Amino acid sequence: MKPVAIFRHASTEGPGYFAEFLDERGIPWQLIAIDAGDVVPPSATAYSGLVFMGGPMSVNDDLPWIPKVETLIRDAVALDIPLLGHCLGGQLISKALGGVVMRNPVKEIGWGEVQVSNNDIARSWFGDIKNFQAFHWHGETFSLPQGATHLLSSAYCINQAYAIGRHLALQCHIEMTVEMIAIWCEVGADEVKTSSASPAVQSTIEIQRSMTDELSRLNSVATRLYERWLKGVRAGRDSR
């Protein structure tokens, strides 16, 4: 099986629980650390799937690797190689496929409920799950590209996830681990303080206090979504 390519855009925003998920199932994966200077591959053909993690930058920033990633995303879609995006990763997929990334009305930081959309495609991804506490850390949001089906929303951000065939894009974070939450709370403490007026921003103390109750459920939701995404990877492998 060709490896799954995982794109890291910041040293603190690695694959987290997704890497654990792949390792437990013996799925090979390759980290492409954009933050460390790794080169964006010119084609997706060497991989069974492409996964894009988060990052503090905007997809609208003038960064040399962003147009290359957009080209790679479009190449993967043309080849029917499944895409998976987390937060910035979801925004990259949206922008590459003709969507727009813009400022969200408020920042969302910390735990917050998301609602699963009432449609058959959403049910195929989430099963009987109607809502759950997702993890958020974003100030921007995406519009849905042509052909996308809406999957998730929150009280403060309408577009929290969508699917296009085998491709899944998320605005929220489902890949969190105890270690990731701790380091984000440390390096993002100033941002949390300056954004405290937002009704969707929790304090770092509250974030870590809620983690005890919420993280295991989030991991369960992530497992379901990753399993569903992996089916697309395997189906694509078998059809090529």
pLDDT digits (tens, 9 = 90+) for 182-193: 999 999 999 999
Number of domains, the chain: 1
The boundaries of the domain holding residue 113 are 4-239
Question: 110 is written with which tokens?
Answer: 């910390």
Asked whether 91 and 54 are in contact (CB, 8 A), the reply is no
Question: 140 is written with which tokens?
Answer: 């921007």
Question: If pLDDT is split at 50, 70 and 90, which confidence band does 238 have?
Answer: low
Burial (CB < 10 A; 0-12, 13-18, 19+), residue 128, is exposed
Beta bridge partners of 108: 138
* pLDDT tens string 15-42: 999 999 999 999 999 999 999 999 999 9
- Nearest alpha carbon to residue 102 among 52, 147, 138, 63: 138
Q: Judge whether residue 239 has pLDDT over 90.
A: no
Q: How many whole angstroms separate alpha carbon 158 and alpha carbon 156?
A: 7
Q: How many whole angstroms separate alpha carbon 152 and alpha carbon 112?
A: 12
Question: If pLDDT is split at 50, 70 and 90, which confidence band does 213 have?
Answer: very high
Asked whether 24 and 219 are in contact (CB, 8 A), the reply is no
Q: How many whole angstroms separate alpha carbon 90 and alpha carbon 95?
A: 9
pLDDT at position 64: 97
CA distances to 30, 131, 211 from 49, rounded to whole Å, are: 10, 27, 30
| CATH number of the domain to which 234 belongs | 3.40.50.880
Q: How many whole angstroms separate alpha carbon 25 and alpha carbon 154?
A: 31
Asked whether 168 and 83 are in contact (CB, 8 A), the reply is yes
Q: What's the gap between Cα 82 and its chain centre?
A: 13
Rounded to two decimals, what is the model's pTM?
A: 0.97
